[in-house]
Structures are given as C-alpha cells and as structure tokens.
Structure 1
Amino acid sequence: MKMKCIIVDDEPLAIEIIESYIDRLDDLEIVATCTNALKAFEILQKEPVDLMFLDIEMPKLTGIDFIKTLKNPPKIILTTAYRDYALESYELDVVDYLLKPISFDRFLIALQKAYKTDKSEPANGLTSTTEGEYIYLKADKKMVKVMLNDIHYIESLKDYIRVKTADKDVITHQKISYLEEKLPDDSFIRIHRSFIVPLKKIESYSSSTIEVPGKELPIGRLYKNKVLDTLNAQNQLD
C-alpha cells in the first residue's frame, strides 16, 4: 500500500526537487502540492495523507505554527533553508528535519524514519500522550511507566539496566542494546557501552565526559567520534 504524501513549500523549485525524489520510489504517492499552509489545511480536511513534507518559512503561516493548529497531523518531515529552527523542531512530533539543499541520500534517511513511525502503533515501542512519550518497564513484578522527558541517563548493569530519573531508579531485567533500539535516536545517544543519555539533559561535555543532572559519565572510546560529532553539530545549530 502506497504512502500518500503532500508537499507544502512556497518555493516551486523546492517542491520540484521533492517531487523528483518521490517519483523515484514506487511506494510513495503525491496527493497534492501546496504553496502555503492554508491550502494544505484544506487538503488535509478532504484527503487521507500519511506524510507531509513541510517548509518552515512560509507567508501567512509558518510551518511550525501550522503544526500547532493540527489535532491529528500526518507524519511530518520539516524542510527549511535555515538552521535556526533545528532545536525547536525536536520538541515537535515530527519524523525528521531536512536542511536545504536536500540531497537524495538525506531524503532517504528521513523516509526510513517515516516508515518506522506508525501513528496507530507508536514508533520504537513508545506511547505518546499530551504529556509526552513514555515507555513501560518491568520492575519489581509490575510494569512501571517512565516518561522519556524525565530520564537523566540509562546505565547497563550486566543483564539489567537502571533508568535514572529525578525521583526514582527503575531497574529492569533487560539489555541496554534492546532499550537503545526502542528509544528515538534523535533524542537519545549511546555514549558508552554502559550508558545512554537524553540529548536534552546534557549540561556540559568534554572530549571524555558528559554531565547530566547530578552525574558525570564517561564517553567510551568506541563511541567518542559519533558523540562529539553529534554534540558539535548541535552547537553549530545553536
């Protein structure tokens, strides 16, 4: 079954580029293209849409403000020529953030994330509410709800993991690699064979350590390049 797409951008050339990428793939179908958010809103009321490619800087209504008006939005991939919106986009329920000019390789990466995300069956085994995403972990013979926004870090304890939050420690019989697969990779990063941290909770870092609330954690040798590249890239976006 094809994924139905809509492209929203006030630049005709930007629309053409995404159209050309979609045309290369058999499992995508373009429902409509729009040059402003108001027209896109009309389309969403009439047509079933699975995925929306949405520009941020548009007249009348920005892409970010448009998202906030939607009660049941489709999956969204943001597109923009400006880096300034990257961090704000992470707080929205979007699949990915593409910086123009968009290469086909980067487009495919975003698309893979869209395939993994299913509104009826939350991505990565997580559940979403108005409070944010959460996951249930089995601990002390019961299922414990943990909000992702509350996690300070995750620590491997051989065949167990400790999920540290501000007010509790949840210890569950599980491998850290299993939880790594479940967590959104744009919000969490593995920094060591024994530690995963949420990007939003990082208070400071050096070439060998990362500080989260109340704890300094080591950066593993095998993870160092990826961790520093990710954090340095975020600093550039700031």
Structure 2
Amino acid sequence: MPEKSITCIVVDDEPPALEILRKYIAQVQSLKLEATFTDAIDAFNFLQQHPVELIFLDIKMPELLGTDLVRTLKRAPAVIFTTAYRKYAVEGFDLDAVDYLLKPVSFERFLKAVGKIEPANSDSVAKSSPQFIQLRTERKMVKVQLSDILYIESLKDYIKVVTQNASVVTKVSISAIEANLPKEQFLRIHRSFIVSLDKIESFNHELVWIAKTELPVGRMYRQQVEAALNPR
C-alpha cells in the first residue's frame, strides 16, 4: 500500500525560486503540492480554509514576513524556510522549523530537508491507534498510552513525552507529533509544549499546571488555549 502523501504549499515572492521548488516537489512521490503563492497574505487566507501538512516558506517578503505568517497560524503545519539571507536562520529554528534552506536551493539539499519529515510518518512515529502511539527510542519502538501522557516538550530536533511514570525521548519535531494526536485530547499551548487536556489541574492566560509542573502558554497560543479551557 503506498504511503500517504504529505500535502504542501510553496510561498515565495520570487517566481524563479518558486518554480524551482515546484519542479523539485513534482519529483518526490511523497509530496503533494496543493498551491503556490507569491504573497504571504494570500497564503494565510488559503490556509484558513485548506490546512496542509507542510509549507515551503520564504522569509523575506513584502507586507508580511514568512516568520510572521507562521506566528499568525493557530495550528502551524511543518515549515521548511527558504531564504537568501542566512541571518534569518536562528529565528526560523526558534519557530520549530523542520529545516532552513539557503538559496539557491540544490535538489540534494531539498531532499535532505524533506527527509527530516519522513520519520514523522514512518520510523519515529508509527501509525497511531485511538489508544496509543509508538515512538522509536534507543533502537526500539515504545508503546505509549495516550491516557498516560501528561505533556510533550520540544527539545530542538527531539521531543520528550512525559507520562505519569516515565519520560520517552525520540527524534521527531513537536509539529509532527502534534499531527498524530487526537485534537480532542491534546492542546498545543506553546511552540515547545503540548498538553493533555484532562491532566490540566489549573491555568491562567500565561501558565498551565500539570502534576505540579508549571508550563508556559505562548502568546500566539493564548487565544486557542482560552477557547479550549474556558469555553463560553
């Protein structure tokens, strides 16, 4: 059975760069290009109605920077930044980007970046059932019951899944693991934290407490946290 395609869009205000990425994507069977945009605002409007799993995103664009676009999205998909300016790399990785491609982008470097999201669909996170997920750690697969998870913390290229009795560290992005979790049970409260809704003991607009652990609520997530935890 063929693997599920990863839906993606490309956002770049330079048509030649956009066309190169379009050609690269067409050569990778695991990628399905949904749309391309030369304007970040148009991309934002598209994403409100057509969520995708991956964005190839230029950073320096008129009106709205690519980094600012990511911050406006309530549930940002995986992001691979593309730019001619190396100085933006740190900010890009601070937003939990999968990778950062410096223009002109070679096909080899493009494949390496795409390969980083492949484990999220195969090796690092096996297919989920409604009751558990499987994580690859220390050369073995570990089954983690969803009901045992307290919260998940991003550690750059890794995540730490904290349960009631132990912690599991695996190499996968927090955005990738988020896509494998049921939305009715888990909530992203920060670029570095996902929490189990039924484990929350107390909260305010800046902090969430789980098992006496204090977790921050990111500014860009406050609205959705308030909506989920204090419905009207």
**TM-score scaled by length of structure 2:** 0.55
Structure 1 gaps, min length 5: 146-178, 186-238
Question: 1:27 Cα deviation (Å)?
Answer: 2.3
Matched, 1:40 2:40: no
Indicate the RMSD between aligned Cα atoms, in angstroms: 3.4
Question: Structure 1's 15 and 43: CA in aligned 2 closer, same or farther, altered over 3 A?
Answer: same
Equivalent residue for 1:102, pick from 101, 105, 121: 105
Q: Distance in 2 between matches of 1:53 and 1:22?
A: 10
Flag the structure with larger Rg.
1
Q: 1:44 to 1:135 in 2, by over 3 A?
A: same
In 2, distance between residues paired with 1:67 and 1:128? 26
Structure 2: gaps of 5 or more residues: 138-148, 174-232
SS at match of 1:117: helix
Paired residues for 1:11-50 under 5 Å: 11-50=14-53
Q: State the SS of the aligned residue for 2:166.
A: strand
Going from structure 1 to structure 2, the CA distance change for 1:12 and 1:102 (only over 3 Å counts) comes to same
Q: Is the 8 A contact 2:40 2:69 kept in 1?
A: yes
1:135 alignment counterpart: 160
Aligned sequence identity (%):
44
Q: Are 1:79 and 2:82 matched, yes or no?
A: yes
Q: Aligned partners of 1:79, 1:107: CA distance in 2, in Å?
A: 10
Aligned equivalents of 1:142, 1:86: Cα separation in 2: 37
Q: How many residues align?
A: 148
> Which contiguous aligned blocks of 4+ residues in structure 1 show a shift greater than 3 angstroms?
117-125, 127-134
What is the letter of the counterpart of residue 52 of structure 1? I
**Alpha-carbon distance change, 31 to 77 in structure 1, aligned in 2, over 3 angstroms:** same
Sort the Cα spacing of 1:136 and 1:67 in 2 relative to 1 into closer, same or farther, 3 A.
Answer: closer
